[in-house]
Structure 1
Amino acid sequence: MHHRFRSPKPLGMAIAAVLGLGLGVPPAVAAPAADTDPVPGLVAGADTGAPQLVTGLAERAPGATAADAARSHLAAHQDRYRVDPAQLVETGTERAADGRRTVRFAQRHGGIAVFGAAYLVHLVGEGDGQRVESVGGKYFTGLTAPTTQSVPDEVLRRLALGAVEDPAAREGATADDHGLVVLPGGTGRLARHFTVRGTDPAAWAAKAREVFVDATTGVIALAHDARAPYRAAGAGAEAGGTAGSAAGAVEPATGTAPDVHGNPVPVNLGRLPDGTYRLTDLTRPAVITTYDAAGRDFLEVRGGMPTDLLPVASATPEFPASAAATGAANAHVNAGIVYDFYRDRLGRQGIDGKNGPITAVVNATSFGESMRNAAWDGRKMIYGSGGDKEYPFAVALDVAGHEMTHGVVESTAGLVLAGQSGALDEAVSDYFGNAIEVTARGLSMDDPRAALLGESLCRTGTPEACAGRRLDDRRTTVDDYVGAAADIDNSGVHLNSTIIGGALWDIRRGLDPLTADRLVYRALSEYLTPLDGFVDARNAVLAAGRAMGLSRAQLRTVVGAFDAHGIKQGWQRRIGADSRVVLGDIPSSLVAPDVAGGRWVAGTSGHGFGGSLGVLTGTVAGSAEPVALSPQDGRSHGWPATDGTTAAWVAMGADANGVWGWEVLARPVDGGPLRSLRRAPYQVLSDVRVAGGNVAFRVSDSTAGRARPALSVNGAPVVEIPLPDGHDAADLTLQGDLLGWIETWTSGERTVSAPTVYSIAKGKVVAQYVLDGAAATTAGQARLAGGRLLWVERPDGGGTGSSIRSGAVDGSGVTDLVTGSAADRRDIVGLTASDRAVTFSHRFRWEGGAVRNAELPKLWQLPLTGGTPQRVSCNRGGQYMPAADRGTRVLWLDATAGRTDLVAREHAAGTC
């Protein structure tokens, strides 16, 4: 669910990593010495020639409007900012209570919006007396991406729908087309943006997802949780629409309604012409209305709402005791408290800054069960019904403040919900949620409850046990950052939020709380931009402090808070790792590397390829710079394989004749002629493998849905290996004269999995192990090594209790290398093998609560003949997609340092 109070299930993709931006580690000024200015004067940008921040200015900038003055200033100092004013579009001007104005510009490339790019100019004064005080944001220089798509719209739409992995969710899914956008990073990448929505409420992936498809190649370039509101099938009035449109026919009134404990509390009401009353507060410029979902699933009320869903109502101004169970009165009162906090304390006019309607929906459920969470869906708050152990989530004022602050973030900085920017979004929402409750309740900052979020929700238990998060957990980047890749919590947006949130809370402890609240709000509304990370936030808060006129001592308090949580330049390098980086900052963890004979290949964007995927090769020893194997022909080249002499990979996109499709290419790793093995405009080519001049790959028929192996022997034309009708092949593996795969077919009501070995010389299958377990038993990740075929077996088809089994290539028997059971939670997600060792990556399946580094995938290794697995690396973050070289050497993608690196180790570390 978007913007959850509590951590979601594993999902998402890291924005900064995918875009190839080194965000969060800009070359900023180090922590100041005692006699230096705590505020950095200049912070260089990452992956751009435009500075991230310039402060300490006092330059005249006359103009009829603030926007005119800001644009003229940027034009007059292009040598300083490297910004082309012609590529800027004003998106709004924020006026602070002291009259200071912030002009926000969005970047365009050839008229197309650049994702996450925003540049800000801060001014004081009016008319000819205007002066620029600071400038900053993210403006990407060097963009040369095309501005015309080459893949047809309908093909891009189908590819976006295909990004929904769950078949149940994909059935009937829709894709709303938002047009073209340029993804920054290197030379940029032209993509088409879709919001994909599933329709099956039983499938988790039914949530809305933002999917960006490369408009020149068809590759999924980026995907993350949706910010745009979800409109369920049959949705009617927009959130808040009923209250707003009917306000003229409703008279203000007062009454009482029972809170969740049954105590009557005063509430502002709306009296309808028929004499009935409803929870509509007309006493503030923003109309506040509370609805009762009456147990409907959150998918039905997300974004838009069914036309028959009405505000909570009563025949008299004293609402009946039955209204207590939903927490509706709590939600209604809490919304007013949050509004008043932002208006009276910070000068903000409602969630959107324009006194737009404020809407809450209480008593929502999730997939037929109690919803133990709360969410901001882009238009309103949705509160879960709670359960036997928890009150309805509308009860907690700090949770209400958290969710409503998500709306404030969305209409100011617009932080992207992934990686560090997403964690910053959660942190700011935590901060203001707690600040609102502490202020309204009159609590001291030293009160043990002050730093707890959601501590009032539990029906039983202590506040500490009840809290969803706490801002005094003392977590730091170096000691506690969770190195999650794309598949966990949008790269840790909830898992890492208290690192930066704790720093903000410490600022509130160290300064006067009102000063701290205004400082954090000013940083949010005037300095932060969508792709900002932790270090950007530090610089934004310090710059806001200078603008507010904080003293040197106060600014040092701010610096001390960030330092205490390890939020300073280059913090990733201080985490420590026992692996050696072979290729740093891989923009995607979704493209597996390969290695043989000390030569590696990897698919990556950036690193000379600009925005498209390309194939690099280099030596494990790192004796020379990596070189590009794939041509820069406008297509995406990835999914490579190598035997140490030859590399092969798949190219996707339109060729020189404008024909779009897939192509398998091969080339010697030391350079040489590029060979085309197969072109297929209407077939998907994947799963490439190379061994001794032979190249194998999988051919999937996009219409019939069948997949079969294809093989080129020593450069000969490709021959497809026939399979029985109804059979599919996946997980190809190639070694010498042998080709292996996992063959599947349907027998009755069950799917049969059969690890299979095919002799190239004999032209026939020489071994096939038909699994004889329960109907749900499946196999995958086939690997040939040492005269045996290895595979991963899942007894329940879902990953619990994964095992690694091994069969002789002549079909003479099966042994167990790693034994799992339904009782354990191990999920093997990566398998590779050399002539001596088997290496696998496993994680413990997520079962709710916070995901820790210990539960992320880790690499283990054991002899090919069997033995006790040992840890390959003691790196604490996620370890993905291992590739075995000779002996015990292994390469993998590692997310420990808050980015994804290709790393290597020669031997297992043993016990960590």
Structure 2
Amino acid sequence: MNHRSRTPRALGVGITAALSLVLAASPALAGPTADPDPVPGLVAGEGTATPQLVTGLAEAAPGSPADAARAYLAAHSDRYRIDPGQLTEIGTERAADGRTTVRFEQRHGGLQVFGAQYLVHLVGEGAEQRVESVGGKYFTGLTAPTTPAVPAPILRERALDALKDPRARAGAAVEDRGLVVLPGGAGRLAQHFTLTAADPDGGDRLVREVYVDATVGVVALAHDARAPYPMGGAGGVGAKAGAKAGAKAGAKAAAGSAARDGAAAGAAAGVEPATGTAPDAFGRSVKVNVGRLPDGSYQLTDLTRSAAISTYDAAGRDSEDFKGTIPADSAPAHSAGPDFPASTGTSGATNAHLNAGTVYDFYRNRLGREGLDGKGGPITSVVNVTFGGQQIPNAYWDGSKMVYGGGGPTYQPFAVALDVAGHEMTHGVISNSAALAYVGQSGAMNEAIADYFGNAIEVTARGQSMNDPKAALLGEDLCRTGTPEECAGRRLDDRRSTVTDYVGAGLDVDSGGVHLNSTIFGGALWDIRRTLDPLTADRLIYRALTGYLTPLDDFVDGRNAVFAAGRALNLNRAQLRTVEKAFDAHGIRAGWQSRVGLDSRPLLRDISTTMASPAAANGHWVMMSNTETLSKTALFTGSTSGSGTPTRLSPEDGRYHGWAATDGTSAAWVAVGPDAQGVFGMELLTGPLSGGSIRSLYRSANQQPGDLRVSGNELVFRTTDFATDQTTIHLYRNGTQAAEIPLPQGHSAAGLAFKDGIIAWSEQWAVGDDYAFAPTVYSIAAGKVVAQYPGTDGAGGTDPQLAGGRLLWKETPADRSKKSSIRSGALDGSGVTEVLSADSPVAARGLSFTASDQAVTVEQPGSKPGSGWTNAALPKLWQLPVTGGTPQRLSCNRGSQVFAAADQGTRVVWLDATAGRTDLVVRDRPAGSC
């Protein structure tokens, strides 16, 4: 549940594609018929030789389920290309209908492969046991090292770099989550960190998941998270439930056994089952199952079920105190007698306790699941937490328990709403089964399934009709004022579709749109529940979640999982058609990305690094990205016209290659990592775009060349000696250093520009407690600075560019309430004009721009409105003449448009996330109005 999201300071460049893991499903069905079977027979893996889904099998597999599953995969290694030695069983679940699912996690050198799980489904027992389907993500060809080459303190510091604001970095808590192998090609060894920091701008606490490549010390993946989720493979998958759901005698026996198990657990802790009364959040006295302590007092611990249910009242303590584990000095909500005080109701504790029991009963009695972990493990809720002394209008699953804010003047305590409780507890079920990664489409499915079961639990408990307009609302009971429709955080009947409504967000906006796009998939699931029998739908979605989904699945994978679950549950053809229509109505089908109405041409698909930004000049682009065959980031080049096939420019030497510049004929870039002798360093390389020899120009163990710029046979870049803070600008000609331009002591440079013998930069120096910025022009021929443009009224000029024989720069006032503008000046320091006024609707404080001799392209940064993020609020590109004029939309693509690079004339390349992934795209001219 997320009623409030912070405003990001930067927009990422990818969603799930950031890992090269969006595996688009293309079902290969049996021969065509007049009425084809909607259940896929085979879905091939992409970027791996292992198929993603195979159904319709009937192969004998005697023995224990795990052994039989492993033996089956080993016996068919030519079909699945799976090394059984890389598989670790993480759970075996026997469903109420007798089918068994064995879930394996892929390991490489003993380390978890991020999101890599493979499932084998068996039916029957003993000698009659057989395999009926298999599927998941298994990555062939992994050869990544398993021992870090970068010292742990440096990895930690690199992780902190993922927090862009130095104020956030200063007080951040860093949790080392251990080593993991990121899949794709040969794989990458990464150290996983969770960073937690206060938002310097006063918003929610920042939680950021960061993966640092442990061989070269650069961030491989980073994304924001509302709360930390286990990123694949955490926990078990389920208990071996023998009783069939719906069999009354079996259900009663199981319930009795569960009560005895819970009572036994309580007895071991010295707590006895008891009953009491407590006021709920509305002051009504209700009966509650509680625990009696040896001293005769009582606490909110329910021991009548196999999973002991305990509810804690944080009493206003900070949510950080309850991160991970319950503090040693905290105990479940307490009462001297069996009648609990009024505070138990006003805090939300009573409702949280009752709702937890209702959710448990739904999963146990309706779906045969013993608790959130499937093994009868304890269920814990914490209510009335705060953040920075303020009430939190939110609720979340933190990886082990439910955490509820106390609401405030606008909201009731968040534990009041049964659908919210069901939603958060379902996150617990998800993390102990499919463990859908909380990013991009997999994260949106995580939220969608939590929405589905949250609402399904509530309407079932209330006996509510699926035709009731309120049935599809989530959190409609939370508001103290207003209508349910106004209060609801989401509604599952909003009819959103991938083709018309998918929000193309980067990773720093809602973790790639996990909430923004959830109702597209959740709406399809809700339509299935409205059109099928609700019990059948619940069992179908639950089977898909626990038996077929894996952490990195996308929307189309989710569709296939539901169909495969339908076959396992023996849904008839008409029922499967109903499911098909629901997904089709929401645009969830293979190839949906090609139908979103792009007006740009793709140059390179699925950009897989959050550090990437393109360079372009004279009809060519250069860009770093991952490949299917490389374990590190490589440099690619191609034509901005889109003709031909992109080619790799950098050598395959195990290092990261990126941060490139080009003049359209040659490129310069930086390689980071150990060289052939194993010595770590940063090396500046250059080579022709057409291929040929690559030359090394500069190497350092601790200074990375920055702001590379190429012009003909000349190259400039800057370095900073961190011991002395001395910034030097280097000029190379024909591969040899021709000059060094040291800046005055205490001055630094950023944003180099270089063209036709002129170097420009933004010079910075301290002025009292503040800094001054001045665009500066240096003539190589004269060997000196020939012009400088100091700011006025506290303004400072940054991001200089040379275009049309003039210098352009961004002018940003010291007053943070004022917007930035774009200015232009002659190269001799005269004739300052305004290209884009701060009064322009396109102007914004955080704007950036790129320029050719003909046009300026402005990136208008995203700005979330009060109603929440939309496509319209994401970053967009505008273009105007280099001399100034009326800005026009460069592209009408609806998603995030970032990191633009001007080519020739009005042609621009940029990174676009409209199609549910991040692609390098191009347009030749402005689209005009959209």
Shorter chain as denominator, the TM-score bin is over 0.9
Report what 1:56 is aligned to.
56
Q: Distance in 1 between matches of 2:219 and 2:816?
A: 25
Q: Distance in 1 between matches of 2:836 and 2:75?
A: 67
> 634, 637, 644: which is aligned to 2:654?
634
Distance 1:323 1:813, change over 3 A: farther
Which amino acid letter does the alignment assign opposite residue 321 of structure 1? Answer: A
Q: Distance in 1 between matches of 2:605 and 2:184?
A: 15
Report what 2:916 is aligned to.
898
Number of corresponding residues: 895
> 326, 340, 344: which is aligned to 1:323?
344
Output aligned runs, 1:474-873, within 5 Å. Answer: 474-606=495-627, 610-703=630-723, 707-717=727-737, 719-774=739-794, 777-795=795-813, 801-820=819-838, 826-873=844-891
Q: Which moved more, 1:880-889 or 1:149-158?
A: 149-158
Residue ranges of structure 2 left out of the alignment (5+ in a row): 231-261
Does the 8 Å contact 2:837/2:843 carry over to 1? no
Does the 8 Å contact 2:143/2:186 carry over to 1? yes
Residue ranges of structure 1 left out of the alignment (5+ in a row): 231-240
Which amino acid letter does the alignment assign opposite residue 699 of structure 1? Answer: T
SS of corresponding position for 2:742: coil
- Residue 71 (1) aligns with residue 92 (2): no
Q: Offset at 1:849?
A: 3.9
Distance 1:20 1:468, change over 3 A: same
Q: Which moved more, 1:633-642 or 1:721-730?
A: 721-730
Distance 1:283 1:741, change over 3 A: same
- Residue 401 (1) aligns with residue 422 (2): yes
Report what 1:237 is aligned to.
none
Residue by residue over 1:465-515, the C-alpha shift from the partner in whole angstroms, topping out at 9 and shown as x without a partner, is 100000000000101111112221111111110000000000000111111
Distance 1:445 1:12, change over 3 A: farther
Q: Distance in 2 between matches of 1:398 and 1:770?
A: 58
Does the 8 Å contact 2:865/2:873 carry over to 1? no
Report what 2:166 is aligned to.
167
Q: Distance in 1 between matches of 2:30 and 2:834?
A: 54
Distance 1:95 1:703, change over 3 A: farther
Which amino acid letter does the alignment assign opposite residue 266 of structure 1? Answer: K
Output aligned runs, 1:85-484, within 5 Å. Answer: 85-198=84-197, 207-225=206-224, 248-484=269-505
SS of corresponding position for 2:661: strand
Report what 1:238 is aligned to.
none
Report what 1:233 is aligned to.
none
Distance 1:190 1:419, change over 3 A: same
Residue by residue over 1:68-104, the C-alpha shift from the partner in whole angstroms, topping out at 9 and shown as x without a partner, is 1101111111222222222211111111112211011
Does the 8 Å contact 1:303/1:379 carry over to 2? yes
Q: Which moved more, 1:112-121 or 1:407-416?
A: 112-121
Which amino acid letter does the alignment assign opposite residue 159 of structure 2? Answer: A
Distance 1:757 1:245, change over 3 A: farther
Q: Distance in 2 between matches of 1:702 and 1:58?
A: 65
Distance 1:408 1:799, change over 3 A: farther
Does the 8 Å contact 2:198/2:204 carry over to 1? no
SS of corresponding position for 1:721: strand
Q: Which moved more, 1:550-559 or 1:384-393?
A: 384-393
Distance 1:297 1:229, change over 3 A: farther
Please give the TM-score of this superposition, normalised by the length of structure 1: 0.93
Q: Offset at 1:395?
A: 0.9
Q: Distance in 1 between matches of 2:861 and 2:134?
A: 44
Q: Which moved more, 1:539-548 or 1:200-209?
A: 200-209
Does the 8 Å contact 2:864/2:870 carry over to 1? no
Q: Distance in 2 between matches of 1:896 and 1:33?
A: 35
Which amino acid letter does the alignment assign opposite residue 679 of structure 2? Answer: V
SS of corresponding position for 1:450: helix
Identity of aligned residues (%): 62
Distance 1:244 1:784, change over 3 A: farther
SS of corresponding position for 1:500: helix
Q: Offset at 1:895?
A: 1.1
Q: Distance in 1 between matches of 2:647 and 2:778?
A: 34
Aligned alpha-carbon RMSD (Å): 2.6
Q: Which moved more, 1:393-402 or 1:76-85?
A: 76-85
Does the 8 Å contact 2:726/2:743 carry over to 1? no
Q: Distance in 2 between matches of 1:30 and 1:881?
A: 44
Distance 1:327 1:602, change over 3 A: same
Q: Distance in 2 between matches of 1:294 and 1:745?
A: 49
Report what 2:257 is aligned to.
none
Does the 8 Å contact 1:700/1:708 carry over to 2? yes
Please give the TM-score of this superposition, normalised by the length of structure 2: 0.92
Which amino acid letter does the alignment assign opposite residue 75 of structure 2? Answer: A
Distance 1:809 1:22, change over 3 A: same
Does the 8 Å contact 1:24/1:420 carry over to 2? no
Q: Distance in 2 between matches of 1:500 and 1:224?
A: 21
Does the 8 Å contact 1:213/1:222 carry over to 2? yes
Q: Distance in 2 between matches of 1:784 and 1:274?
A: 79
Q: Which moved more, 1:786-795 or 1:462-471?
A: 786-795
SS of corresponding position for 1:683: coil
- Residue 84 (1) aligns with residue 66 (2): no
Does the 8 Å contact 1:143/1:186 carry over to 2? yes
Distance 1:13 1:620, change over 3 A: closer
Which amino acid letter does the alignment assign opposite residue 533 of structure 2? Answer: D
Residue by residue over 1:284-311, the C-alpha shift from the partner in whole angstroms, topping out at 9 and shown as x without a partner, is 2212122222222322222234333332
Does the 8 Å contact 1:503/1:564 carry over to 2? yes
Q: Distance in 2 between matches of 1:528 and 1:668?
A: 46
SS of corresponding position for 2:653: coil
Q: Distance in 2 between matches of 1:140 and 1:334?
A: 41
Which amino acid letter does the alignment assign opposite residue 717 of structure 1? Answer: Q
Residue by residue over 1:203-235, the C-alpha shift from the partner in whole angstroms, topping out at 9 and shown as x without a partner, is 7696443322222222211123467579xxxxx
Q: Distance in 2 between matches of 1:115 and 1:318?
A: 49
Distance 1:90 1:693, change over 3 A: same
Q: Offset at 1:689?
A: 1.3
Report what 1:20 is aligned to.
20
Q: Offset at 1:545?
A: 0.8
Q: Which moved more, 1:846-855 or 1:426-435?
A: 846-855
Distance 1:773 1:374, change over 3 A: farther
Residue by residue over 1:853-892, the C-alpha shift from the partner in whole angstroms, topping out at 9 and shown as x without a partner, is 1111111000011100001111111111111112111111
Does the 8 Å contact 2:601/2:922 carry over to 1? yes
Q: Which moved more, 1:798-807 or 1:438-447?
A: 798-807
Q: Distance in 1 between matches of 2:841 and 2:880?
A: 22
Q: Offset at 1:801?
A: 2.7
Q: Offset at 1:15?
A: 5.6
Q: Distance in 2 between matches of 1:297 and 1:13?
A: 33
Q: Offset at 1:524?
A: 0.4
